[in-house]
Amino acid sequence: AMATSITNPPPLSAGGIHHPNDNSSQTCLTSPPSPSSSSQSSPTTPFCPPFPNNTTLQHYLASIAPPRELICPITQELLRDPVIATDGHTYERNSLITWFEGMGRTRSPVTNSLLEDTSVERLVTNLAVASMASVHRERLGGMLMGICEGVVVAVVGGRGRGDGKGKREYDEDGVGVRVEGLLDA
């Protein structure tokens, strides 16, 4: 089987735009290299090699991090059910309901200004942000699936983690760091 690769997209700016001149992407093969695919990579090329240095790792983590606009100011997590409060900011619905009803707060979590209306019945779903968050989750899921499929090919293909000659078909540290980063993003 021919080895293919996923190149992680470059980091997004605050507005969610890719930086075309950013060379910080890190390639991870989606299937372990085989001797017959030496034109693309040598048989000794590890699948998902460890990052060569902390700077490269930080660039990778930044490239998979969601834009700030998709992060709830209360939970600091990727929005799933975003709603707009009367302060104009977007929050995770359950977190904002807890903020208003569970904690009895009447001030904005972002600006600390007094809110005109804290009625949870008037919260409006932010469809644009929900769509962008969904696209981001799908992108991360695709990257994760590519990594997992490559590991399955390496193990099920009968080669395990090596070819019996000390050459590793995939690197557990490289795979682990990428998977952990994707799950945390």
- For residue range 73-98, what is the model confidence (pLDDT) as tens digits? 999 999 999 999 999 999 999 999 99
Beta bridge partners of 160: none
Burial of 122 (0-12, 13-18, 19+ CB in 10 A): exposed
Whether the Cβ atoms of residue 113 and residue 85 lie closer than 8 Å to each other: no
- For residue range 108-159, what is the model confidence (pLDDT) as tens digits? 999 999 999 999 999 999 999 999 999 999 999 998 888 887 776 655 554 4
pLDDT for 100 beyond 50? yes
Whether the Cβ atoms of residue 177 and residue 57 lie closer than 8 Å to each other: yes
Share of the chain above pLDDT 70, in %: 64
**Per-position b or e across 74-102, b if 16+ CB within 10 A of its CB:** beeebbebbbbbebebbbbbebbeebbee
Q: Flag whether the pTM goes above 0.75.
A: no
Q: What is the Cα gyration radius of the chain? A: 21
